[in-house]
Amino acid sequence: MPRKFGAADFYSGLALAALATYIIVQARQWEYLGPDGPGPGFFPLWYGIAMAALSGVLVVSSAWREKSAERVEWQKIGRALAVWFALAVSVAALKPLGFVASFAALTFFIAAVMYRRPLALAAALAAASAAAFYAPRQAPRPSMSCSPWRSAFRYPPGCSASRRWRSSLD
């Protein structure tokens, strides 16, 4: 039974184990527990321990797995890399275009290219995602002038009597 030590999972597990070791070594230099509770080294240490354990599981499971005859599906890998590239471009476009425009462009790309939807639908989705960021700003805000919380548990002068009955603090 040939083993599959040359698999990507095996080497990914080794790389994650090295990263976990680095995280643990760095986190041990920080205070683990202080007088007020967990210190700055608490969460990174446990994160490193969890990463080391999971990378060990990945290495062992890939070492015991039999060699498979599956081929790499480069078309699917290319599509995944295209989404990563589009995300990187949208992050790079944040400063010149702004968040809303770059997120709308990313939405358009994913809908039109990745899901192969009609361009009109992809444009509508991009416009809707952009509009969703502006909608809360344009929504009417309730008036707080008659709120009992606004003036230390008493209604301000000029507050209508129709609103006073709604509160039990009157």
Count of structural domains within the chain? 2
Based on the fold, state whether residues 99 and 124 are members of the same structural domain: yes
Decide: residue 113, CB within 10 A, 0-12 exposed, 13-18 middle, 19+ buried. Answer: middle
Average pLDDT, rounded, for the chain: 81
- Reading the block at residue 19, the tokens are 């990263």
* Cβ neighbours of 158 (radius 10 Å): 7
Based on the fold, state whether residues 127 and 85 are members of the same structural domain: yes
Supply the DSSP string of 111-131, one letter for each residue: IIIIS---HHHHHHHHHHHHH
- Residue 156 counted as domain residue: no
- Residue 58 counted as domain residue: yes
Q: What is the pLDDT of residue 137?
A: 67
* Domain limits for position 106: 74-135
pTM listed for this prediction: 0.48
Based on the fold, state whether residues 82 and 120 are members of the same structural domain: yes
- Residue 158 counted as domain residue: no
pLDDT digits over 47-106, tens only?
Answer: 999 999 999 999 888 888 766 666 778 888 898 899 999 999 999 999 999 999 999 999
Q: What is the pLDDT of residue 18?
A: 96
